[in-house]
């Protein structure tokens, strides 16, 4: 698999893993009694319902640098709506995301072992064509995604514009009878992104079926382990807090208080850890070590 094909395939697998991760949060919260995510249209596997524009761009930019850091759109959860034990319900809801990634890793690992056992070798012409189609599908997805980001920016800019005493000054005359061209139509662009992501995965699988599945295993395990770090806004913070808050022991009270104090600064703490990790591998060493151990266990290598 060429570098650019691997890049498009890897980024698409990351976006898919994030989407299933956020879907698991939304579905679990709704099952436990909080319909907030369902009302916001988040109980769906559609990636576009879960991807954050800035977080997605971060994945694209950092993937080129070989890191691949980004985030999905957080699922809105109101723990007070849970039918029983809101702190425990929040822990279960938070844990559903990493658990979904482990399930994806197990499925991809089982398929990878099946492929390694006897998947027929494709003709070189098919592989070459698939490489080209992967690049084309990835390029089309990037173009459509760029169009969606432009529409998002335009909508934000329009919403933040303050009209003067004579109304909103605009040189554009809007004719309600004239629709935007197809490349400015939001639904057309969204459908293009969905089809493009599906095409990248399909053609990437044709180029290297075992390689694509193994990549999916590693991505999902790394995402699960990273989210288990007990620093907000990662899932590990809410999992640990939900499991400890009902305990009457003094030490658990102190831990919960500590987690509550650092949660507002969780983003800065994570950035500091990531920056320090470039000097001393305090995060990458255990994270990738654990990822490698679990992946080898799943893949049987």
Segment 10-66, tens digit of pLDDT: 889 999 999 999 999 999 999 999 999 999 999 999 998 998 877 777 777 766 655
Number of folded domains in the chain?
1
At 281 the pLDDT is: 85
Which is it for the CA torsion 220, 226, 229, 232, positive or negative? negative
| Least confident span in 180-184, 187-191, 230-234 | 180-184
CB-based contacts of 141: which residues, under 8 Å, 6+ apart?
8, 12, 192, 193, 196, 197, 199, 200
Q: pLDDT, tens digit, for every residue of 186-222?
A: 888 899 999 999 999 999 999 989 999 999 999 999 9
Contact of 112 with 242, CB cutoff 8 Å: no
Does residue 92 lie within any of the structural domains? yes
Does residue 17 lie within any of the structural domains? yes
At 56 the pLDDT is: 77
Does residue 95 lie within any of the structural domains? yes
- pTM (2 d.p.): 0.86
Contact of 49 with 107, CB cutoff 8 Å: no
Does residue 264 lie within any of the structural domains? yes
Report the 10 Å Cβ neighbour count for 249: 9
Quick one: which H or E segment has residue 164?
A: none
Distance CA 295, CA 106 (A): 9
Does residue 189 lie within any of the structural domains? no
Can you tell me the mean pLDDT for 280-287?
86
Helices 186-207 and 209-227: angle between axes, nearest 10 degrees = 120
Does residue 225 lie within any of the structural domains? yes
Kindly state the percentage of the chain with pLDDT values over 90.
44
Does residue 93 lie within any of the structural domains? yes
- pLDDT of 169 over the 50 cut: no
Per DSSP, 43 falls in state: S
At 69 the pLDDT is: 67
Does residue 273 lie within any of the structural domains? yes
CB-based contacts of 135: which residues, under 8 Å, 6+ apart?
4, 5, 8
Q: Which domain holds residue 52?
A: 3-119+209-299
Helices 124-160 and 186-207: angle between axes, nearest 10 degrees = 150
- pLDDT of 132 over the 80 cut: yes
Mean residue pLDDT across the chain: 84
At 119 the pLDDT is: 67
| Higher pLDDT pick, 12 / 250 | 12
Site of tokens 């072992």: 113
Contact of 226 with 234, CB cutoff 8 Å: yes
**For the residues of 95-140, what is the DSSP string, one character each?**
HHHHHHHHHHHHHHHHHHHHHHHHPPPPPHHHHHHHHHHHHHHHHH
Kindly state the percentage of the chain with pLDDT values over 70.
86
Report the 10 Å Cβ neighbour count for 206: 17
């Amino acid at each position: 698999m060429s570098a650019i094909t691997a890049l498009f395939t890897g980024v698409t697998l990351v976006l898919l893993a994030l989407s299933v991760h956020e879907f698991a949060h939304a579905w679990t919260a709704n099952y436990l009694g909080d319909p907030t995510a369902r009302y916001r249209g988040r109980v769906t596997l559609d990636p576009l319902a879960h991807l954050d524009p800035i977080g997605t761009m971060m994945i694209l930019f950092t993937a080129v640098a070989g890191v691949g850091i980004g985030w999905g759109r957080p699922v809105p959860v109101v723990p007070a709506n849970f039918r029983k034990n809101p702190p425990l319900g929040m822990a279960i809801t938070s844990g559903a995301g990493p658990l979904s990634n482990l399930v994806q890793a197990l499925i991809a690992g089982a398929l990878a072992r099946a492929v390694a056992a006897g998947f027929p070798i494709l003709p070189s012409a098919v592989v070459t064509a698939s490489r080209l189609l992967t690049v084309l599908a990835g390029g089309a997805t990037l173009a459509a995604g760029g169009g969606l980001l432009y529409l998002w920016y335009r909508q934000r800019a329009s919403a933040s514009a303050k009209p003067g005493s004579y109304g909103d000054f605009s040189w554009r005359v809007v004719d309600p009878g004239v629709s935007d061209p197809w490349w400015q139509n939001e639904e057309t662009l969204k459908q293009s992104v969905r089809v493009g992501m599906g095409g990248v995965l399909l053609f990437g699988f044709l180029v290297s079926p075992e390689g694509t599945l193994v990549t999916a295993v590693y991505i999902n395990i790394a995402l699960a382990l990273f989210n288990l770090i007990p620093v907000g806004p990662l899932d590990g913070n809410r999992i640990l807090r939900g499991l400890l808050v009902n305990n009457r022991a003094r030490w658990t009270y102190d831990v919960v208080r500590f987690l509550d104090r650092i949660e507002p600064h969780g983003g800065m703490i994570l950035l500091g850890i990531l920056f320090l990790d470039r000097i001393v591998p305090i995060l990458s060493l255990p994270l990738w070590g654990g990822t490698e151990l679990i992946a080898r266990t799943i893949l049987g290598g």
